[in-house]
Amino acid sequence: MKCTLKLFVLLATILVTGCSITPWVKPYERGYLADPIMSFEPDAVSSNYMHHVYQAREGSRGAEGGGSGGGCGCN
Amino acid sequence: MSKYLNFSLVALLVGLLLLATHSMAKVLPEERSDIMFHEYEGDGVTINGPSVLVRKNYMDSISINANYYVDNVTSASIDVLSYGSPYVEERTEQTVGVDLLRDKTIFSLSYTNSTESDYDAETYSVGFSHDFFGDLTTVSAKFGVGDDVVRATGQAAFEESLSRKNIQFSISQILTKKLIMGLNLESIDEDGYLSNPYRKSSILMASDFGVIDRQGTWEEENYPETRSSDAASLKLKYYLPYRAALRAEYRYYSDSWDIEGSNFELGYTHPIEALNVTLDVRYRIYQQSSAYFFVDFLDASNGEEVPTYHGRDKELAEYSTTTVGVGVKWEFLSSRWFVLDKASISLSYDHISFEYDNYRSANEVGYELGQEPLFEFDAGVTRVFLTALY
């Protein structure tokens, strides 16, 4: 718990002080990043389904970046 | 509690602290509706059905989303052929969620309900997403709890329960004008009935005198009643010198059942502006080690002690998968018409090859027990969906 508290203080310090960092990519320089082709998951209905397929057929699960719930239709 | 779960709880606390100290503008997700038909076909299993996802925003501060999803399952898999009977069933899943925008933070709540004839699941989740450092960094955290009820067709008295907790922590980071990164951590803890009431272990007992094939070896599985897992993934996406994007993703997974898995994916997205078409190709490899209690076949005919935990679920075996996928999206409406801003139709197909290293084709005849050929199969995954933005 002591370690958790230290980690909390460290992260809080980094993030609070970090908020004053000047952005190295200015808002007007983000044209490429705003292009729809740069989205990690442009179509949630499709990517959620693929996460579900892999969750049901592979032993690993989690950290896909999408949602997860119970039930898989795979009994 | 796993180390990522600890770390994510800290991140959640840090996030809540910062919400009180910083406030700038953020926008809600775009309003859209998707209607999809999906189909998985492989190893004698066909699963298909619709999925409808709708998102609508109100007063620039509230976004409501709902998803209705159906799996129509027809199964004659190798497990079913080995010791069961082909079956047909339906699973329906409904999700409703709400996102509340306040300054630069989105608070999210969602509820998911999944129903099958022999399995019910409910999941509740709460989370937040906040932008930092002049919008270069987005930090998200999500906590979910779920309760499942497991039944078994043909066994009216059978009913077990399972509870789940999961916590996710994500960072999306702009690295350069053309490069973005996503980092995801997730821990999942499960407690309760984790076996499958239909699946069997293959164990030759001392009492199985005269048994010469797998048919006389099927025993009830017995799994541990807890499972804790940690997963971490890193994604990168780069805008190429011409209008196209390259992405790479790596994920590492480990759990308390000694399964270690990793996958790597490469993808390329290429728009053809003259045709309003976007092409996508992808390649993914996955591999995992087997659970410590996985047994394809155990010869205990000489009186050896049978381990307390044993199971023969092929998702717990040592194996690898390779996926090759292609997708095409045609934006047939690219300027405003009536209430619509844009509309498109998309088609995706993924071919997945499964190759097992210690799971054998138990229904093959003419082989010595436990010496059947290693199992392998190919699967196809199809998605066709219509998208409307408004």
**Bridge partners (DSSP) listed for residue B277:** B272, B330
| pLDDT score, position B64 | 97
Q: What angle is formed at CA B214 by the lines to CA B211 and CA B219, rounded to 5 degrees?
A: 95
Looking at B148-152, B205-209, B271-275, which range is the least confident one? B205-209
Checking if the pLDDT of B259 tops 50, the result is yes
Percent of chain B with pLDDT strictly greater than 90: 81
> Can you give the pLDDT at residue A75?
45
Nearest CA in chain A to B18: A16
Which residues are CB-neighbours of B50 under 8 A, at least 6 positions away?
B35, B36, B37, B38, B68, B69, B70
Taking the Cβ of residue A66 and every Cβ of chain B, the question of whether any pair is shorter than 8 Å is answered with no
Question: How many alpha carbons lie under 13 Å from residue B232 in its C-beta half-sphere?
Answer: 6
Nearest Cα to Cα of residue B256 among B224, B284, B283: B224
Q: How far is CA B264 from CA B234, B305, B381, in A?
A: 10, 40, 19
Q: Output the pLDDT for position A71.
A: 52
Q: What is the pLDDT of residues B308-330, one digit of tens each?
A: 999 999 999 999 999 999 999 99
Taking the C-alpha atoms of residue B233 and residue B184, their distance in angstroms, rounded to an integer, is: 5
Q: Which residues of B touch A33 (CB under 8 A)?
A: 174, 177-178, 180, 239
State yes or no: pLDDT of A1 exceeds 50: no
Taking the CA of residue B45 and the nearest CA in chain A, the distance in Å comes to 9
**Does the structure show a pLDDT above 70 at B21?**
no
Pick from B111, B90, B292, B379: nearest CA to A50: B379
- The reported pLDDT for the residue numbered B50 is 98
Q: What is the pLDDT at residue B132?
A: 87
User: Is the CA virtual torsion B195, B199, B203, B204 positive or negative?
Assistant: positive
Q: B150: distance to nearest CA of chain A, Å? A: 10
Distance CA B259, CA B240 (A): 37
Residues 287-306 of B with CB under 8 A from A: 288, 291
DSSP code, position B242: S
Which residues make Cβ contacts (< 8 Å) with residue B338, sequence separation at least 6? Answer: none
Q: Is A62 helix (H, G, I), strand (E, B) or coil?
A: coil
A68 pLDDT above the threshold of 50: no
Phi, psi of A26 (to 5 degrees): -70, 155
pTM of the model: 0.89
B residues 236..275 contacting A (CB < 8 A):
237, 239, 243-245, 247, 251, 253, 255, 259, 261, 263, 269, 271
Determine the 3-state secondary structure of B4 from DSSP.
helix
For residue B117, the 8-state DSSP code is S
Question: Is A16 a residue whose pLDDT tops 60?
Answer: no
Please report the pLDDT score of residue A21 as a whole number: 67
Q: In what order do the strands lie in the sheet with B200-205?
A: B218-220, B200-205, B298-300
Average pLDDT over residues B172-186: 96
Average pLDDT over residues B149-154: 92
Chain B positions touching A30 (Cβ under 8 A) are 174, 177
pLDDT at residue B82, as a whole number: 86
Mean pLDDT to the nearest integer, A20-38: 88
Q: Residues 325-364, chain B: which have Cβ within 8 Å of A?
A: 346, 348, 350, 352, 354
Q: What is the pLDDT of residue A67?
A: 47
Give the chain B residue nearest A65 (alpha carbons): B184
Q: Do B182 and A65 touch (CB under 8 A)?
A: yes
Residue of B13, B148, B178 with shortest CB distance to A32: B178
